[in-house]
């Protein structure tokens, strides 16, 4: 590429307000005024939308359990321009490699603000706050917990691992305070046995306790895992739900 007239362009950043979208099920969303006893933040994977993603967790919703599904700020058409915009499905992504530091900072600030809005009062009153991230959402959830200011009781990484660039010596305190759970399908193409073993060794070396739940399935949300997450008896069958690939 030839040299740009006037020299190389300069990078600038300007902070602006954004309107973020999120969905809820159960708890106050069901019409009650009581403060929920349990809150689940569920973070979708790449190319998903929160309104559809939250439906896969409907079994967890109850009058005293609130589900909150934030949607990533970056939406895009999943298909090319060969179809009209009205016919192209839309997905969202938490970040890309482009200007990644700014995007991470933006979504951490967004998720902290959402926590303040929907969970802070309940947490003060003794509610249990859980964060579940699926696939790309697992990396997002980890960065939120290690870089943000929102205290949570549990961090569930489903079909995804702690980002390789996460400094566990810096984020270990937050991860030790949160009960870390890894959920992986035995046929997950994105988290294979070698990757899982390396992740366990990494957590062990950092002194971060965790539990592992494996299920018979691929890179999907399996409703049959839910009872194991909440300590209830398992149902028969292996129905599956969301997949971001």
pLDDT of 50-73, one tens digit each? 999 999 999 999 999 999 999 999
Percent of the chain whose pLDDT exceeds 90: 76
Show the tokens assigned to 146.
């290690």
Q: How far apart are the C-alpha atoms of 158 and 139, rounded to whole Å?
A: 10
Are residues 143 and 166 in contact, defined by beta-carbon separation less than 8 angstroms? yes
- Could you report the per-residue pLDDT of 10-47, keeping only the tens digit for each? 999 999 999 999 999 999 654 556 789 999 999 999 99
Long-range Cβ contact pairs of 97-100 (< 8 A, separation 24 or more): none
On average, the pLDDT of the chain sits at 90
Check pLDDT > 50 for residue 93: yes
CA distances from 201 to 23, 90, 175, 195, 211 (A): 36, 37, 15, 10, 13
**pLDDT tens, position by position, 189-232:** 999 999 999 999 999 999 999 999 999 999 999 999 999 999 85
Span 151-174, average pLDDT:
90
**Strands 65-70 and 38-43: what pairing?**
parallel
Q: Quick one: pLDDT at residue 236? A: 33
CB neighbours of 153 closer than 8 A, spacing ≥ 6?
A: 128, 129, 130, 178, 179
| pLDDT for res 127 | 95
Q: Of 237 and 231, which is predicted with more confidence?
A: 231
The answer to whether the beta carbons of residues 207 and 237 sit under 8 Å apart is: no
Cβ–Cβ contacts within 10 Å for residue 41, how many?
Answer: 27
Q: Which domains does the chain have, with CATH numbers?
A: 22-230 (3.40.50.1820)
Q: What confidence tier does 234 reach under pLDDT thresholds 50, 70, 90?
A: very low
Q: Per-residue confidence at 1, pLDDT binned at 50, 70, 90?
A: low
């Amino acid at each position: 590429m030839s040299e740009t007239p006037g020299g190389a362009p300069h990078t600038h950043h300007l902070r602006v307000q954004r309107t973020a979208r999120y969905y809820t099920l159960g708890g106050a969303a069901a019409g009650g005024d009581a403060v929920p006893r349990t809150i689940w933040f569920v973070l979708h994977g790449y190319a998903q939308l929160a309104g559809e993603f939250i439906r896969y967790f409907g079994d967890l919703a109850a009058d005293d359990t609130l589900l909150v599904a934030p949607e990533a700020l970056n939406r895009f058409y999943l298909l090319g321009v060969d179809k009209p915009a009205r016919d192209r499905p839309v997905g969202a992504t938490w970040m890309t490699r482009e200007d990644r530091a700014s995007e991470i900072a933006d979504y951490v600030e967004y998720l902290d603000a959402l926590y303040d809005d929907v969970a802070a009062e309940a947490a003060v009153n003794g509610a249990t706050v859980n964060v579940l991230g699926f696939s790309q959402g697992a990396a997002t959830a980890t960065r939120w917990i290690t870089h943000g200011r929102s205290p949570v009781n549990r961090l569930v990484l489903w079909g995804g691992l702690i980002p390789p660039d996460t400094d566990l010596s810096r984020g270990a305190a937050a991860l030790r305070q949160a009960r870390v759970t890894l959920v992986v399908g035995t046929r997950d193409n994105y988290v294979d046995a070698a990757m899982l073993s390396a992740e366990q060794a990494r957590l062990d070396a950092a002194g971060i306790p965790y539990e592992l739940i494996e299920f018979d399935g691929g890179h999907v949300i399996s409703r049959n895992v839910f009872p194991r997450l909440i300590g209830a008896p398992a149902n028969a069958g292996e129905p599956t739900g969301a997949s971001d690939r």
